[in-house]
């Protein structure tokens, strides 16, 4: 059911010719992203496992430190450990199973 609704929303956006409606959708999306990022900021702590999404690439990493607008995330790129300063909008917290 959710995929059908999402497809309807995407179809509307792609076919909409009313710029005012598209601007309103854009503002709502920006507000929602900001709200989600703010919530995530307060949920994250050092040691949490996260997914970092960027330019058609996803990396798994571990939170080293949570700052005001970004988190420092340790990732392994080509076998080498690196630390990135990542905005919360690019992070998704992953649930780690203990089994």
Structural domains in the chain, sorted by start = 2-41 (no CATH), 44-93 (2.30.30)
Mean pLDDT within 13-25: 96
pTM comes to 0.72
Mean pLDDT within 62-73: 95
Mean pLDDT within 50-68: 92
Between residues 34 and 65, the one the model is more confident about = 65
d(CA 73, CA 53): 12
pLDDT at position 55, please?
83
Confidence of residue 4 (pLDDT cuts 50, 70, 90): confident
**In this prediction, what percent of the chain has a pLDDT beyond 90?**
74
Mean pLDDT within 25-29: 96
Over 70: is that where the pLDDT of 1 sits? no
pLDDT at position 14, please?
96
Tokens of 25: 């959708």
Over 70: is that where the pLDDT of 21 sits? yes
Count Cβ atoms within 10 A of the Cβ of residue 90 and give its class: 0-12 exposed, 13-18 middle, 19 or more buried. middle
Helices (H), 1-99: 2-15, 19-43
């Amino acid at each position: 059911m959710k995929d059908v609704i999402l497809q309807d929303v995407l179809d509307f956006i792609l076919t909409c010719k009313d710029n005012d409606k598209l601007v309103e959708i854009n503002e709502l999306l920006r507000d929602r992203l900001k709200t989600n990022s703010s919530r995530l900021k307060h949920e994250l702590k050092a040691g949490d496992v996260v997914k970092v999404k960027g330019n058609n690439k996803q990396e798994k990493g571990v939170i080293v430190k949570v700052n005001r607008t970004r988190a420092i995330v340790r990732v392994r790129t080509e076998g080498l450990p690196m630390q990135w300063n990542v905005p919360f909008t690019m992070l998704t917290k992953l649930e780690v199973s203990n089994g």
